[in-house]
């Protein structure tokens, strides 16, 4: 089981998971109201530690048990994530991002030559915009209206995951708790902050192997968005997973983990 630790990073008391020894793998969660390292990546941390990686997964600024920042713009989360990498101090490392964590991870990979692999999962912010509208639930609109109740947490998770059996009472309760209190304050701060600047036009500058693991059934980050990213990132490869939504590591864990491990071990 992953160790749960705290450290002061970038001026914020920061909670993070750590397990294993070997090549360094840093996991960055997304920005749903109840997102945390443990909720999105807990099982993944343990699995990859068992495969021989040194795995780190922080609660980003304003999420989980990490302090709220003074500024809720995404640039502050990026700076905090960079400070976390410097705290871990790897000579080389891979980044695995989930949702907004992919945007943060790509920004870091564009700047830090220590990054040697990048794994990207469904994101609504990183890819080029969609050219066609898609009928179905608007996850962004649900997030904008979200308040922390068990009912609302279950409803939001039902849009994130395709496999509804994964939406256990335990997951719903954890997500609701992680979206409450100081994290509800942070969520309102993020809603009021400027939208992240588009960076898909800069992704041609990525010089590390990149793997896109995408849920074919994500109602927001559609396969078209994945194809836009595939075109934008030199040498990227894309795996489109059926019966899979915004969190492939939950909907299709065995396949997602196998593809990620194979990619991380490969020599390009």
What pLDDT, on a 0 to 100 scale, did the predictor assign at position 138? 78
| Average pLDDT, integer, range 189-193 | 96
Fold entry, domain 3-265: Rossmann fold (3.40.50)
CA nearest to 211, candidates 116, 130, 125:
116
Percent of the chain surpassing pLDDT 90: 93
CB of 36 closer than 8 Å to CB of 59: yes
Of the pLDDT bands very low, low, confident and very high (cuts 50, 70, 90), residue 140 is: confident
How do the domains of the chain map onto residue ranges? 3-265
Of the pLDDT bands very low, low, confident and very high (cuts 50, 70, 90), residue 136 is: low
What pLDDT, on a 0 to 100 scale, did the predictor assign at position 205? 97
Tens digit of each residue's pLDDT (9 = 90 or more) over 194-205: 999 999 999 999
Of the pLDDT bands very low, low, confident and very high (cuts 50, 70, 90), residue 135 is: low
Q: 70 to each of 11, 67, 221, how far by Cα in Å?
A: 10, 10, 29
| Average pLDDT, integer, range 135-139 | 72
**3-class state of residue 140 by DSSP:** helix
Of the pLDDT bands very low, low, confident and very high (cuts 50, 70, 90), residue 180 is: very high
What pLDDT, on a 0 to 100 scale, did the predictor assign at position 130? 81
Backbone phi, then psi, for 159, in 5-degree steps?
-90, -25
Q: Give all strands of the β-sheet with 210-215 in edge-to-edge order.
A: 3-9, 12-19, 54-58, 24-28, 93-97, 115-120, 210-215, 237-241
Tally Cβ neighbours within 10 Å of residue 114. Answer: 17
What pLDDT, on a 0 to 100 scale, did the predictor assign at position 133? 61
Instruction: Say if residue 132's pLDDT is above 80.
Output: no
Q: 41 to each of 25, 133, 200, how far by Cα in Å?
A: 12, 30, 25
Tens digit of each residue's pLDDT (9 = 90 or more) over 70-84: 999 999 999 999 999
CB of 172 closer than 8 Å to CB of 150: yes
| Average pLDDT, integer, range 209-226 | 95
Instruction: Say if residue 268's pLDDT is above 60.
Output: no
Percent of the chain surpassing pLDDT 70: 97
What pLDDT, on a 0 to 100 scale, did the predictor assign at position 267? 66
Residues facing residue 119 across a β-bridge: 96, 211
What pLDDT, on a 0 to 100 scale, did the predictor assign at position 174? 98
Tens digit of each residue's pLDDT (9 = 90 or more) over 221-256: 999 999 999 999 999 999 999 999 999 999 999 999
CB of 1 closer than 8 Å to CB of 19: yes
Give the whole-angstrom CA distance, residue 58 versus residue 60.
Answer: 6
**3-class state of residue 136 by DSSP:** coil
What pLDDT, on a 0 to 100 scale, did the predictor assign at position 102? 97
Give the whole-angstrom CA distance, residue 58 versus residue 29.
Answer: 8
What pLDDT, on a 0 to 100 scale, did the predictor assign at position 105? 98
């Amino acid at each position: 089981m992953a160790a749960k630790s705290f450290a002061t990073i970038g001026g914020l008391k920061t909670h993070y998971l750590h397990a294993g020894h070997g090549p360094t793998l840093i996991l960055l969660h997304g920005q749903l109201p109840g997102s945390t390292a443990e909720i999105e990546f807990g099982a993944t941390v343990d699995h990859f530690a068992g495969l021989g990686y040194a795995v780190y997964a922080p609660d980003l600024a304003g999420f989980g048990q990490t302090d709220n920042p003074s500024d809720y713009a995404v640039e502050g989360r990026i700076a905090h994530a960079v400070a976390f990498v410097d705290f871990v101090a790897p000579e080389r490392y891979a980044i695995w991002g989930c949702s907004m964590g992919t945007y943060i991870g790509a920004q870091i990979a564009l700047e830090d030559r220590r990054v040697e692999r990048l794994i990207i999962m469904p994101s609504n912010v990183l890819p080029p915009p969609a050219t066609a509208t898609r009928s179905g639930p608007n996850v962004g609109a649900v997030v904008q209206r979200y308040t922390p109740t068990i009912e609302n947490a279950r409803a939001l998770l039902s849009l994130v995951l395709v496999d509804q059996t994964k939406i256990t009472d335990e997951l719903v309760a954890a997500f609701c708790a992680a979206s409450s209190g100081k994290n509800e304050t942070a969520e309102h701060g993020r809603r009021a902050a400027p939208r992240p600047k588009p960076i898909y036009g800069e992704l041609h500058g990525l010089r590390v192997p990149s793997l896109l693991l995408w849920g074919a059934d994500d109602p927001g980050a559609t396969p078209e968005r994945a194809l836009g990213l595939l075109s934008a990132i030199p040498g990227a490869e894309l795996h489109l997973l059926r019966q899979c939504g915004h969190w492939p590591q939950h909907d299709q864990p065995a396949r997602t983990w196998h593809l990620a491990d194979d990619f991380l071990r490969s020599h390009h």
